[in-house]
Amino acid sequence: MTEQLWAPWRLKYIENADKAEGCIFCIFPAEGTDNDEKNLILHRGKHAFIILNAFPYSNGHLMVVPYRHTASFDAFTDEEMLEVMHFTRLSIQLLEETFHPNGFNLGVNMGRVAGAGIADHLHWHVVPRWNGDTNFMPVLADVRVIPESLSVVYSRLKQTLASRSGG
């Protein structure tokens, strides 16, 4: 008997995997703050922004993205790198306060061969992890179980961010 998993949110990724034109990390911020919720941009700074991963490895998977479009680590100024690190720390704090994970995976995939889905625009992953969140699904079925919708995760993180800044 074949088991089926219902994952309707994956259709958007499958249908658009080869159709994407341009860089979403450039396009989304350029669409303006009125579209931040639609584009899952959680927070903006002078040199970088925090965005939810639309195809997360775990609940609350965030990315810190510099505005500068480059695949070169050396291209970033010290000021840009400092804001990226500040936003990485802020991402961890928001996730800890909102979801109480037991740990994190932090990383940058440089180049397609290293697993970068968007290889031409460096970005940092902040992936919350919980005790027991490794199960058979990713190993046997290449499936990740995400317990909350992106809109709920976005809303919860925005509330935490607002409470930290006083409104």
| Residue 29 structural domain | 23-159
Closest CA to 99 of 65, 126, 136: 126
CA-CA-CA-CA torsion sign (68, 66, 11, 57) = positive
Highest mean pLDDT among 8-17, 18-27, 29-38, 142-151: 29-38
Examine residue 3 and state whether it is found in any structural domain, yes or no. no
Q: DSSP letter for 105, please.
A: E
Start-end of H helices in the chain: 10-16, 24-30, 36-39, 78-99, 136, 150-165
More confident residue, 144 or 123: 123
Domain count, the chain: 1
Q: What CATH number is attached to the domain comprising 119?
A: 3.30.428.10
Examine residue 1 and state whether it is found in any structural domain, yes or no. no
Once rounded to an integer, what is the mean pLDDT over residues 5-21? 54
Examine residue 10 and state whether it is found in any structural domain, yes or no. no
Examine residue 91 and state whether it is found in any structural domain, yes or no. yes
Examine residue 119 and state whether it is found in any structural domain, yes or no. yes
The encoded tokens of residue 12 equal: 């958007």
Determine which one of 43, 47, 61, 123 is catalytic.
Answer: 123
Q: What is the pLDDT of residue 81?
A: 97
123 is catalytic: yes
Q: What is the pLDDT of residue 144?
A: 55
The residue assigned the tokens 């499936």 is 143
Q: What is the pLDDT of residue 136?
A: 43
More confident residue, 92 or 5: 92
Examine residue 16 and state whether it is found in any structural domain, yes or no. no
Contact 95, 63 (CB under 8 A): no
Reported as a single tens digit per residue, the pLDDT across 103-136 is 999 999 888 887 778 889 999 999 999 887 664 4
Does pLDDT of 23 surpass 70?
A: yes
Residue 142, phi-psi category: left (phi > 0), alpha (psi -120 to 50), beta (remainder): left
Reported as a single tens digit per residue, the pLDDT across 50-109 is 999 998 888 899 999 999 999 999 999 999 999 999 999 999 999 999 999 999 999 998
Q: DSSP letter for 98, please.
A: H
Examine residue 114 and state whether it is found in any structural domain, yes or no. yes
